[in-house]
Amino acid sequence: MKILESISIGNLELKNRMVMAPMTRSRANDEGVINDLAVVYYKQRATAGLIISEAINISVQGKGMPNTPGLYADEQIAAWKKITDAVHDAGGKIFAQLSHAGRVAHSMNRDGILPVAPSAVSIKGQKAHTSNGQMDYETPSELTVSEIESIIEDYMRAGANALKAGFDGVELHAALGYLPNQFLIESSNLRSDEYGGTIENRMRFIVEVLKGLIAIVGIDKVGVKLSPAIPINNMFDDNQKEVYSQLFLALNKLPLAYVHLMEALFPLEDFPHFPQKPLYETGHLINIPIITNGGYNRDSAEAVVQENKAQLVSFGGLFLANPDLPRRFELNASLNEPDRATMYVGGDEKGYTDYPTLNAI
């Protein structure tokens, strides 16, 4: 199968084209230090061509959900080093997903400090997941230009820390309504300075962060995750297709490792102007390697790689539930079903490190 064949991205040799998608598992302590069970969890999945870590906060300010890990303190870096060492020892590769949640956050999870965002616009119609249960989103405080500049520096510092922690590269989380996505989309960006207004201005933040990360982490070692067909967290833009088309053209000019492009995950009948199938409709605009994501199984993943619409495919739920997913694909073996009850809420081994491999069955 082509999906099981090796591929190089820059100097990075991946043993297959199957990527473990980033998945927040909420098992870090209050200081954002990931626990030792995560060493087992990631090592179990090291047969992926590439693992992308769960979203990692670049700063205290960037924290969204409770119990998410960070990459801004020495203790956090040391904890991640154990994970990258274990993955490398098992012959795997791992990127760090760098995250700033912006307004997808709540002061309850942030020592009473309000979230920040491009503009003072709250998320409506959804609840924030806090240490105190579900709560309404608050109106975030609007960032000044100098605060934006320091966030870009925070990303760069986190990029440097990712290298110290032994990661092979980094992925900018610019999907699912997180801070970079908030800059890009008109519903969350009402600014009239150089970071708002025109599409060129709204994509400035993403481009500047990526350039900063490339300068620190290296050429072909920085990827970016995008979700052009997902309105979650109030990502509504009347010119959705144009916004992403322009962004792709800007990304093509950067020496990126890849674009990680999510397909729609929910029905889009209220959003007929969104790309309904981003890879098929817009993939031809991208001239860097594409990791396609969203709902793939063995056959659809093999087909998309055979057609060369994308070079790699990432799997979320399937890698969560099947640590040995490449082997299962190779043998066309049956798959474990992900247990929804233990997917998002943190906890112990259950639904984390106890999914059986084929050998154990």
Ligand X SMILES: Cc1cc2nc3c(=O)[nH]c(=O)nc-3n(C[C@H](O)[C@H](O)[C@H](O)COP(=O)(O)O)c2cc1C
Amino acid at 117: A
Distance (Å, whole) CA 348 – CA 361: 22
Q: Which is nearer to ligand X, 179 or 191 (CB)?
A: 179
Q: How far is CA 315 from CA 23, 48, 263, 301, 320, in A?
A: 10, 10, 12, 9, 8
| Nearest residue to 295 via CA among 352, 334, 338, 251 | 338
Q: Which is nearer to ligand X, 39 or 320 (CB)?
A: 320
Tell me if 253 sits within 8 A of 218, measured CB to CB.
Answer: no
Q: Which is nearer to ligand X, 44 or 97 (CB)?
A: 97
Helices 145-164/74-89 angle, 10° precision: 40
Tell me if 191 sits within 8 A of 120, measured CB to CB.
Answer: no
Site for ligand X in 321-360 (CB under 6 A): 343-344
To ligand X, the closest distance from the beta carbon of 149 in angstroms equals 25
What is the chain's length?
361
SS3 40: helix
**15 belongs to the binding site for ligand X (CB under 6 A):** no
To ligand X, the closest distance from the beta carbon of 338 in angstroms equals 7
Q: Which of 17, 173, 221, 328 binds ligand X (CB under 6 A)?
A: 173
Interface characters, 179-218, with ligand X (x: CB under 6 A): ----------------------------------------
Q: What phi and psi, each to the nearest 5 degrees, are found at residue 172?
A: -80, 125
**295 belongs to the binding site for ligand X (CB under 6 A):** yes
Q: Which is nearer to ligand X, 216 or 261 (CB)?
A: 261
Q: Which of 72, 137, 155, 178 is catalytic?
A: 178
**23 belongs to the binding site for ligand X (CB under 6 A):** yes
Q: Which of 100, 110, 204, 225 binds ligand X (CB under 6 A)?
A: 225
To ligand X, the closest distance from the beta carbon of 269 in angstroms equals 20
Give Cβ neighbours of residue 175 (< 8 Å, ≥ 6 apart).
181, 225, 226, 227, 230, 260, 262
Q: Which is nearer to ligand X, 198 or 300 (CB)?
A: 300
Stretch that binds ligand X, among 18-26, 81-89, 119-127, 187-195 (CB under 6 A): 18-26
Is 42 one of the catalytic residues?
no
SS3 76: helix
Q: Which of 27, 32, 39, 54 binds ligand X (CB under 6 A)?
A: 54
Distance (Å, whole) CA 259 – CA 331: 29
| Nearest residue to 174 via CA among 155, 193, 147 | 155
To ligand X, the closest distance from the beta carbon of 294 in angstroms equals 5
Total interface residues for ligand X by CB under 6 A: 22
To ligand X, the closest distance from the beta carbon of 209 in angstroms equals 15
Tell me if 208 sits within 8 A of 174, measured CB to CB.
Answer: no
Q: Which is nearer to ligand X, 15 or 225 (CB)?
A: 225
Amino acid at 360: A
Q: How far is CA 187 from CA 99, 184, 194, 272, 282, in A?
A: 20, 9, 17, 17, 22
Q: Which of 109, 293, 322, 336 binds ligand X (CB under 6 A)?
A: 293
**97 belongs to the binding site for ligand X (CB under 6 A):** yes
Instruction: Determine what percent of the chain falls in helix, strand and coil, rounding each to the nearest 5.
Output: 35, 15, 50
Q: Which is nearer to ligand X, 99 or 189 (CB)?
A: 99
Interface characters, 249-288, with ligand X (x: CB under 6 A): -------------x--------------------------
Q: Which of 294, 323, 326, 351 binds ligand X (CB under 6 A)?
A: 294
Q: Which of 7, 14, 19, 21 binds ligand X (CB under 6 A)?
A: 21
Q: Give the interface with ligand X as residue ranges (CB under 6 A).
A: 21-24, 54-55, 97, 173, 175-176, 225, 262, 293-296, 315-318, 343-344
**Could you list the active site residues?**
178
